[in-house]
Chain A
Amino acid sequence: MKELVSNSTTNISQARKAVEQLKMEAYMDRMKVSKAAADLLAYCDAHIGEDPLIIPVPASENPFREKKLFCTIL
Chain B
Amino acid sequence: MCDQTFLAIVFGPCDKCSKEKPLRPVYIKSEQLSYCSLCVEMMATEGLRENETLASLKSEAESLKGKLEEERAKLHDVELHQVAERVEALGQFVMKTRRTLKGHGNKVLCMDWCKDKRRIVSSSQDGKVIVWDSFTTNKEHAVTMPCTWVMACAYAPSGCAIACGGLDNKCSVYPLTFEKNENMAAKKKSVAMHTNYLSACSFTNSDMQILTASGDGTCALWDVESGQLLQSFHGHGADVLCLDLAPSETGNTFVSGGCDKKAMVWDMRSGQCIQSFETHDSDINSVRYYPSGDAFASGSDDATCRLYDLRADREVAIYSKESIIFGASSVDFSLSGRLLFAGYNDYTINVWDVLKGSRVSILFGHENRVSTLRVSPDGTAFCSGSWDHTLRIWA
Contact = CB atoms under 8 A, between A and B. Distances in A.
Interface of A: 1-2, 8-9, 11-13, 15-41, 43-45, 47-48, 50-54, 57, 62-65, 70-71
A43 B334 CA distance: 12
Contact of A41 (B54, B61, B355, B395): B355
B64 to A, nearest CB: 4
A45 B354 CA distance: 12
B5 interface: yes
A39 B43 CA distance: 40
Contacts, number: 192
A39 to B, nearest CB: 6
Given A13-B45, A16-B57, A53-B380, A34 B77 contact: yes
Nearest to A33: B312
Contacts of A23: 26-27, 64
A35 B84 CA distance: 12
Given A53-B95, A53-B380, A57-B380, 20 more contacts: A9-B47, A21-B235, A22-B68, A24-B25, A27-B25, A30-B311, A31-B5, A31-B75, A37-B83, A40-B354, A40-B355, A41-B355, A43-B290, A44-B338, A44-B355, A52-B378, A53-B335, A53-B339, A54-B334, A64-B380
Contacts of A53: 95, 334-335, 339, 375, 379-382, 395
Interface of B: 5, 7, 24-27, 40-41, 43-45, 47-48, 54, 57-58, 60-61, 64-65, 67-68, 71-72, 75-80, 83-84, 87, 90, 95, 98-99, 118, 134-136, 196, 216-217, 235, 238-239, 273-276, 290-292, 294-295, 309, 311-314, 316, 334-339, 354-355, 375, 378-382, 393, 395
B75 A19 contact: no
A34 B291 CA distance: 19
B395 A40 contact: no
Given A8-B54, A24-B25, A37-B78, A54 B338 contact: yes
Contacts of A15: 54, 57-58, 61
